[in-house]
Amino acid sequence: MTYLLGISAFYHDSAAVLVRDGEIIAAAQEERFSRKKHDPRFPKRAINYCLGEAFIDPSDLQAVVFYDNPMLTLDRVTKNALTVAPAGRGQFVAACRTLLGAKASLRMELEACLGEVPRLLVTPHHMSHAASCFFPSPFDSAAILTIDGVGEWATCTLGFGADTKIELLEEIRYPHSLGLLYSAFTSYCGFKVNSGEYKLMGLAPYGKPRYASLIRDALIDVKEDGSFRLDTQAFGYLDSPLMTNARFHDLFGGPPRLADAPITRREMDLAASIQHVTEDIVLKLVAHVFRLTGTKRLVMAGGVALNCVANGRVLREARLEGLFIQPAAGDAGGALGAALSASHELFRTPRKVNPGRDSLKGSYLGPAYSTHEVEDFVDRADAPSDHVADPDERARVVANALAEGQVVGFFSGRMEFGPRALGARSILGDPRRPDMQSRMNLKIKFRESFRPFAPSVLAEFAADYFALDQDSPYMLVTASVQPSRQLATAPLPSVDDDMMKVLSQPRSDIPAVTHVDYSARVQTVGAEANPEFRRLLQAFHTRTAYPVLVNTSFNVRGEPIVCTPQDAYRCFMRTGMDLLVLEDRLLWKNKQPTLNGEQWNAEHELD
Amino acid sequence: MNWTDVNPDEQSGALFDEVLKPLAIGKREAGVEPYFVSGPDATVGSYFVPPKVMSMTPADFEFPGAGGAEGLINALVAHWAAEGESVLATMAPRLNRIAGALSQAAAHDDGGVDIFCYTLF
């Protein structure tokens, strides 16, 4: 057997993935174990988990594969400094700290973690992304599109995968980057780069794309084939610690929004504008890669592939014959691609393709906890619980609680790999309730009130609720709520800055998951999904006639998604959740002892 | 002076001030083509370029410098030499000293990058 360990680390979202003869055995991000959001450190805890999941020792590993080439990144950093000097001194110093420090000491880290250093391999950053989305896909061959901030020199690559080979055909290089452009607007609108892009995307439907022409005229030139180049004179990231500079600020009417300042019409319109421009570019890139490769099956990865609104437009408008987006599309997924690339292209492992079914196992690739471990935990924690051994009865009780408006923390089976909760580590609610979105945002997640929640729907009923004609198991595309379910809303003054007025109007019979533009980021829950979660959806359907639940990740703002029963209980007790399901045990909030002296917001930095 | 006694950030700053900055200014004054273009070009039909690694060969999987700082720097110097960038290759001793100082300071480094260091995306 060939065991390969993929690693991503030392920028953000470090992760480890174990592959055995091409099969993905385990995958997890370090943050889930260390409890530090976006943890960039060497993923020693994730590695320990992966080896333990497979019951192997480090000596069983044929190789460790790193997800990008630090030598080429150092080359870029040096040449960037030579291009912008005398500016950019601080950037160069900070880059040296990592590239000549932590990133250059991978061998030492491996030795400390594993007790030995297996054969050490590397794959280029965008090749890792390409491999992460093509090899697990349900396609024998497919066009490949990867888009992110930057990896080594590339920011976007177009390629073709067939059987066990990937060929990258064209690329765009630094400093011209769609990911960095989107991040520049994220930063300008007062959100954190690397975590706030999702907020900007969620804000976009509140605005109008009135700056889109200005962005195209002044910031980015897009050719017919989707290739693009930025006017870097308006950006700060080449030579300063800021994404944007005075020229950018002059273009868009003033300085950046401060993080704690109110969100105004300007930010809403900026969000709508950059979202619109991004979608148009992605669509052009997709059309071009189809022309290049002669196929209309598409696989995507890279941070920009997490833009589910753009993905939704690709699904609707690109005339695809198939779409697969790898759910850990950001850098964590690079570990997956690194291991799979080496497995198929170096160790010559044959690739098994199941048409219509990817090989990611629903992305349930993280740790699970047995009912005995849960029992031990609740005993140890003196946490009163009801043991409901019968799965159908358990689902019925939980569905009833949801139907009565209770909010449920749901912990079941193996943890998801990637940023989305898919029913293994989820907080669930009733989507029919108009107050559920604001309640879950403010009292459970403690996050901004404008952010939408996603629906999980039984796959066989998805088309009754959403304009979606293919499965979306990983919650990576948006689709409109079916027109027959939409409700008309009262017109608001177009200059109104109060998002709450916009937000508080019910827009469908599932208002808690219907965004202001009637869109929803859908997870279809089919036979391959977590069986316990699917059973709960079926029970909720039986109880309410609605096969849909609100599904958000099991964490609070700034906290990584929970991993262990302890994490789940702590999060449950600190928030307004009513019921915690820990495998076969139900823990009701009103039966729990008071948790004194613990403040989640003192522990987790806000994102 | 013992170089390992000097703060690695100071050493990186000194490398920037004493080598990179004069080199950059000299190149600019001599009209040398920059390493990348800074803006759009209306005269070209496409901005795509061929990838540096189009498909993986066994050699492409070899980790540069086998995972240690000295090996990484040697690999980079060889890369620069192959590109005809012999002046850059002369930085090797200073890069090694920075790596050495960083390795001594490693206990205080969590491997993270300054959130504002966008060039490392």
Q: What is the ipTM of this complex?
A: 0.92
A296 and A378 both lie in a single domain:
no
B26 CB near a chain A CB, below 8 Å?
A: no
In chain A, the number of structural domains is 3
A575 Cβ neighbours under 8 A, 6+ residues apart: A443, A444, A445, A446, A556, A600
One-character DSSP codes across A212-239 = HHHHHHHTEEE-TTS-EEE-GGGBSTTT
A16 and A100 both lie in a single domain:
yes
CATH code at A317? 3.30.420.40
A181 domain-assigned: yes
A83 and A196 both lie in a single domain:
no
Structure tokens at A78: 């040096």
Length of chain B: 121
A354 and A377 both lie in a single domain:
no
Record the pTM: 0.95
A155 domain-assigned: no
A92 and A227 both lie in a single domain:
no
For B83, the closest chain A residue by CA position comes to A75
A248 and A348 both lie in a single domain:
no
Interface test with A, best of B61, B94, B110, B115 (most A CBs within 10 A): B61
pLDDT of residue A122: 97
Which residues 364-423 of A have a C-beta within 8 angstroms of B?
none
* Closest alpha carbon to A301 in A274, A336, A275, A276: A336
pLDDT of residue A131: 98
Distance of CA B87 to the CA centre of its chain: 13
For A159, the closest chain B residue by CA position comes to B54
A153 domain-assigned: no
A328 CB near a chain B CB, below 8 Å?
A: no
A245 CB near a chain B CB, below 8 Å?
A: no
* Closest alpha carbon to A432 in A551, A516, A513: A513
B33 CB near a chain A CB, below 8 Å?
A: no
| Domain range enclosing A519 | 371-603
What number of other Cβ atoms are within 10 A of residue A442's Cβ? 13
**Binary contact (A157, B51; C-beta < 8 A):** yes
CATH code at A450? 3.90.870.20
A377 and A451 both lie in a single domain:
yes
For B39, the closest chain A residue by CA position comes to A231
**Binary contact (B102, A100; C-beta < 8 A):** yes
Q: Which residues of chain A make contact with B38, given a CB cutoff of 8 A?
A: 175, 231-233
A18 domain-assigned: yes
A195 and A117 both lie in a single domain:
no
A91 and A213 both lie in a single domain:
no
**Binary contact (A231, B40; C-beta < 8 A):** yes
Buried/exposed A398-427: b ≥16 CB within 10 Å, e otherwise: bbebbbeebbbbbbbbbbbbbbbbbbbbbb
Q: Which residues are A4's β-sheet partners? A: A19, A63
| Distance in Å, alpha carbon of B28 to nearest chain A alpha carbon | 9
B49 CB near a chain A CB, below 8 Å?
A: yes
Residue numbers in chain B where pLDDT is lower than 70: 1-5, 106-121
A385 and A532 both lie in a single domain:
yes
Mean pLDDT per 10-residue section of chain A, whose length is 607 residues: 96 94 98 94 96 96 96 96 95 91 88 93 98 98 97 97 98 97 97 91 95 98 98 95 95 94 94 98 98 98 97 96 97 98 98 94 97 96 97 98 97 97 98 92 81 94 96 96 92 64 84 95 94 98 98 93 97 95 98 74 63
**Binary contact (B118, A237; C-beta < 8 A):** yes
A274 and A340 both lie in a single domain:
no
